[in-house]
Amino acid sequence: MLTDKKLKDFHTWGKNDAKHYVLNKAQEVERGFKNETEYYLSCKKSYAPTRLKTHFNYSDEDVKQAMEHYHEGFYSGFNWWSNKKEQVDSVLQKYEPIFKEAEKIAFNVDVSDIQDGFPCGSVDIYLKPEGRDSDLGKALRTLYGGDSYSAKVCSWSAYALPVKMPSHGQCMRFDERVCEKVVEFLESKGIPTATHSWID
């Protein structure tokens, strides 16, 4: 007989799998999953009855209850996250013209005087803390898992701004110059922006 905690675990695992699918649908479709049902059936293979019985000593009734809770968790999670994703997309769509203009600026920055080489690394742009209670901040936090432990440790990653940047080489100075111009533009549009540097 499974405990209430273990049944809750299966419900949570189902919700988390649904969340992953909704927030990463494009990638999962590329992997061959045409819809949420195909993804659900693939995830269920991890909980194959034979495996649960052999490795975890589940009875037939245990397997039945576990799969019922997983199923309920997955589809309740799918519906909830689908609605949430629509809200996020609506917010990002509002900012899309600004981000597209920022991309044009990024690709037009002259870096011809910079030689590739040391220091190697890259620079990312993200929303400053003072912008995180805005509709954009909340949308980014939802999209990038801002409430997860890893996002709290590397908080900037949960607020990365969706602006495509050119790749000129390994030297960090390329990104520094490009990001400087992009940050200047975004700040002028009322989007408080900062940079995060990576040194390889």
Contact 177, 108 (CB under 8 A): no
d(CA 166, CA 178): 8
Reduce the DSSP state of residue 178 to 3 states and report it. helix
Give the residue among 130, 194, 183, 199 at the shortest CA–CA distance from 157: 194
Q: How many CB atoms lie within 10 A of CB 72?
A: 15
Residue with the larger pLDDT of the pair 145 and 70: 70
- Tokens 């203009």: give the residue: 101
d(CA 149, CA 122): 24
* Residue 86 identity (one-letter amino acid): E
d(CA 45, CA 51): 9
d(CA 61, CA 87): 39
123 beta partners: 197
- Tokens 């390329």: give the residue: 174
- Tokens 């900037």: give the residue: 156
Tens digit of pLDDT for each residue in 71-130? 999 999 999 999 999 999 999 999 999 999 999 999 999 999 888 888 888 889 999 999
Q: Is the pTM of this model over 0.75?
A: yes
Top-ranked range on mean pLDDT: pick from 24-33, 152-161, 167-176: 24-33
Tens digit of pLDDT for each residue in 45-54? 999 999 999 9
